[in-house]
Amino acid sequence: MKGLILKELYGLKVYMRQYVILLGFFMIFGVSMGNTSYIMWMSLVMALNIGFATFPVDEAGGYTYMLACPVGRRMCVQAKYLVGIGGAAIILACSVIGEILNRLFSMGMSDMGLWLVEVGLILGIYLFFSSILIPVSYKYGVEKARIVMMGMIAVPIVIGFLSVRLIEVEAVTKILDRIARAFTGDQLISYGTFFFFVVSLLFMGGSYLLSVKIFERKEF
């Protein structure tokens, strides 16, 4: 397992300087604006790209190392998902460091509750995207996975436009009124974020099992 993770990290070595420079720019720009949300959302974009960056190296070699190394296919998939978890750790680290720098230099005092909710939301989005894109990358290749990612970004926008129409439906309006009476706005955001994060974790587990199944059937 250690060798497989090192292989993934060596694959990222080519892009490491670019990621460090981008991360530094995001930090400086976010702190100068006193906006840690900018740092968190940009770290999400960077982490998703890091997850993709390891696949082209394997695809270019046709996974031929699997024929020479004493490792199973399941272990290879596990290494990919551990790198994915590393991406989540990067998001969390950037969020914490950005908040600390913001408090030190910009004298900004973010509401800790809202900050935790936003971190949970961003981590949930990252896990949800990764849970779909990793199996797609194994099945159809990284280029088609990028197309799927663009589609996933477009779906919430379409849902947002459609929700305006749904609000006008009487049955939907009644449901929303009942929810509004039962919970405050902050409670809805907090509970909704927690639910989304848990669902994303479950999706990640199912994604791993699906990726193992796909990769075990893959012919080299």
**Res 210 pLDDT > 60:** yes
Amino acid type, 70: P
d(CA 21, CA 136) in angstroms, rounded, equals: 29
Cα(216)–Cα(74) distance, integer angstroms: 7
Q: Is the pLDDT of residue 144 over 80?
A: yes
Please write the tens of the pLDDT for every residue from 85-135. Answer: 888 888 888 888 888 887 777 665 566 777 788 888 889 999 998 888 888
pLDDT of 56: 74
Look at 207 and 178; give whichever has higher pLDDT. Answer: 207
CB-based contact 138:215 (threshold 8 Å): yes
Q: Using CA atoms, how far apart are residues 177 and 33, in angstroms rounded to an integer?
A: 37
Spatial contact of 135 and 208, defined as CB atoms under 8 Å apart:
no
pTM, to two decimals: 0.82
pLDDT at 161: 67
Give 176's pLDDT tier (boundaries 50, 70, 90): low
Report yes or no: 23 and 101 within 8 Å, Cβ to Cβ: no
> In the prediction, which pLDDT does 202 show?
92
